[in-house]
Structure 1
């Protein structure tokens, strides 16, 4: 078989080109640290790399969402702690205001402090997160959900929804709480009913603490009464009770409830007990209402109006007692939300820990599939360089060989 010179040249060239291609691939492997840089390097492994990268990207996105949710929840928790502190101050001032030794000037000074607390509370209710979104607007995009009117009344421009963030596949966590539940729709009284002294009372009767002592009797009586009662006092502290329709309230034996009240005592019927102090005048009344709500801003406004109104000590004490009950209900609502926020923060922190562990696992798997062994790759590169150099030297010798060299 004849071997032409051109054929030998072509074979040598093909060999060197093949070696240069392999050398370039190994150089890329060493420089990038990856065994798979293009799909042709390892089609099956390249498919695994794509899948693992998708999973890692999804986990990274969830981790970023968790970081944002954690920041928002921590901001809300901090804000509610400030709100609680402000309400503590308002409650303390309300208790100070009923001190009978205070002058009108002292009470107006307290009213001024409560006015500042009112403004501070509005500011806290309009707190925004790190992105400038209102914390307590529900899912509304309004920047300031709480607006103050000319008369000091506050209106809510948000909604009752909760913003949610996806912190995992199929797992969402609420990252906000609507201001309607925290600041506006606060139950009056003890949460079940509110007992208030009549505005036209002339005695010194003050309505104190009250509660439901028998919920079965309370619910039964409430249904029969139409939702409210009026207690009317006669001479010597005698009292009777009528329902919302004006009918006498009856006991379990069918007799009208009633009795005689004495200073510092209480009145009980239909599963509720109302503590009182002072002496009622004949004709004085106490009303019992159910299902009422009052926003916390109105509570402060009521306190301010009472302090500036110049009423009697008895009237002021009755007003302040009812407003203190509203503050207590507001703080109870805030406390429940704070507990909920703590649970949500615990959930997102656990999820973050899971994703951190998974990220380590997936990165390790990706390195196993895609990564190159540095020592093996460098050794391979050295061998390929030597082989290419040998091919080049051999080609240089072969191309100079010719019969004419020996015919000279």
Structure 2
């Protein structure tokens, strides 16, 4: 009789322990909303879950990098829009001087305006976003442009950058971003290409940087226009007007290239966002618990545990009576 009671107690105790552990697991599922909280919950699902999480991590990395690049590209576009407006105003001034009958004082006022516009151009060329210069190539912590204290208009030579009114302190390295696996896209414009009209830049002596044929050193274009106005050099102004048009076209062309690249980045971001949604849905199918089902299961397990507890209590009472 005692052996039978001992066996019964052990069976009931084991049943209570099992129900208690199961209830704890279902309560954890209800609290976390996840049916997969550790590898032992579903060993077959671990590998696809880990693979999906890795893919999600890669997508998040792509999205963060592209978002930062797009912020810089949009900031650069804003500065280039301002540059275009500056060039338009400089042309208006030059045309006004050529077509008008201005005295020395009038010309001086307009020349001073070009000086101010050139300073605005310098500010745009030295534009920043998040504390980093936009047009310095890899040298994002280096201000790309500075005035040349040794500039002499008499010595100006478009084939010798040391004689130019402004000096470039960045480099010619393009920033290429991997926007999709295997696809890299240039997401910056370098100052030498944009403002100096040269696609390469060598900062080591002897100087060998020169404005490429059909391209323009934008700073020098403004400087030469200012000098021609002060000197009332009509021929020089006619040349300046043509150069201003060329420099404006150069800016618009490079800005358009940047705009096309920005559009490509936006498209890639939309694609990656769609991929992220798909991956999260896949992960949800493996990990997420049905809230209603989890609640019902918890109620069922609590009822089963309470019933087992009641049975154990009744058996215990009967056993005590046997000894009375």
**TM-score band (shorter)?**
0.7 to 0.9
Q: Distance in 2 between matches of 1:93 and 1:110?
A: 7
Instruction: Give runs of aligned pairs for residues 198-277 of structure 1, distance below 5 A.
Output: none
The residue aligned with 1:388 is: 305
Q: TM-score, normalised by structure 1?
A: 0.68
Q: Distance in 1 between matches of 2:64 and 2:8?
A: 62
The residue aligned with 2:162 is: none
Q: Does the 8 Å CA contact 1:94/1:324 hold for their aligned counterparts?
A: yes
Q: TM-score, normalised by structure 2?
A: 0.85
Structure 1 residues 393 and 407, CA gap change in structure 2 (3 angstroms): closer
1:158 corresponds to 2:162? no
Q: Where is the strand percentage greater, Structure 1 or Structure 2?
A: 1
Q: Does the 8 Å CA contact 2:35/2:289 hold for their aligned counterparts?
A: yes
Structure 1 residue matching 2:36: 3-state secondary structure? coil
Q: Distance in 2 between matches of 1:151 and 1:89?
A: 28
Q: Distance in 2 between matches of 1:87 and 1:388?
A: 82
Deviations 1:77-124 (A, max 9, x none): 111111011011111111112236211111111111111111111111
Segments of structure 1 that go 5 or more residues without pairing to the other structure are: 188-289
Structure 1 residues 32 and 294, CA gap change in structure 2 (3 angstroms): closer
> Which aligned runs of 4 or more in structure 1 are off by greater than 6 angstroms?
none
Structure 2 residue matching 1:165: 3-state secondary structure? strand
1:23 corresponds to 2:23? yes
The residue aligned with 1:207 is: none
The residue aligned with 2:227 is: 305
Q: Does the 8 Å CA contact 2:215/2:247 hold for their aligned counterparts?
A: no
Return the offset for 1:331.
1.3
Q: Distance in 2 between matches of 1:391 and 1:168?
A: 58
Q: Distance in 1 between matches of 2:179 and 2:89?
A: 38
The residue aligned with 2:108 is: 108
Structure 1 residues 124 and 114, CA gap change in structure 2 (3 angstroms): same
The residue aligned with 1:405 is: 321
Q: Does the 8 Å CA contact 1:186/1:326 hold for their aligned counterparts?
A: no
Q: Distance in 2 between matches of 1:407 and 1:19?
A: 30
Structure 2 residue matching 1:37: 3-state secondary structure? coil
Q: Distance in 2 between matches of 1:186 and 1:49?
A: 51
Return the offset for 1:180.
0.7
1:184 corresponds to 2:100? no
The residue aligned with 1:168 is: 180
Q: Distance in 1 between matches of 2:135 and 2:124?
A: 10
The residue aligned with 1:87 is: 87
Q: Distance in 2 between matches of 1:364 and 1:143?
A: 45
Instruction: Give runs of aligned pairs for residues 12-91 of structure 1, distance below 5 A.
Output: 12-91=12-91
Structure 1 residues 110 and 30, CA gap change in structure 2 (3 angstroms): same
Q: Does the 8 Å CA contact 1:186/1:330 hold for their aligned counterparts?
A: no
The residue aligned with 1:319 is: 236
Return the offset for 1:76.
1.1
Q: Distance in 1 between matches of 2:72 and 2:323?
A: 93
Structure 1 residues 297 and 144, CA gap change in structure 2 (3 angstroms): same
Q: Does the 8 Å CA contact 2:215/2:246 hold for their aligned counterparts?
A: no
Structure 2 residue matching 1:176: 3-state secondary structure? coil
1:374 corresponds to 2:303? no
Structure 1 residues 307 and 15, CA gap change in structure 2 (3 angstroms): same
Segments of structure 2 that go 5 or more residues without pairing to the other structure are: 152-164, 200-211
Q: Distance in 2 between matches of 1:117 and 1:161?
A: 28
Q: Distance in 1 between matches of 2:46 and 2:25?
A: 16
Q: Does the 8 Å CA contact 1:139/1:159 hold for their aligned counterparts?
A: yes
Return the offset for 1:7.
3.3
Q: Distance in 2 between matches of 1:183 and 1:354?
A: 34
Structure 1 residue matching 2:167: 3-state secondary structure? strand
Q: Does the 8 Å CA contact 2:139/2:170 hold for their aligned counterparts?
A: yes
The residue aligned with 1:143 is: 142
Q: Does the 8 Å CA contact 2:229/2:237 hold for their aligned counterparts?
A: no
Return the offset for 1:320.
0.9
The residue aligned with 1:343 is: 260
Please give the root-mean-square deviation of Cα atoms over the aligned residues, in Å.
2.3
1:360 corresponds to 2:282? no
Q: Distance in 1 between matches of 2:249 and 2:147?
A: 24
Structure 1 residues 174 and 186, CA gap change in structure 2 (3 angstroms): closer
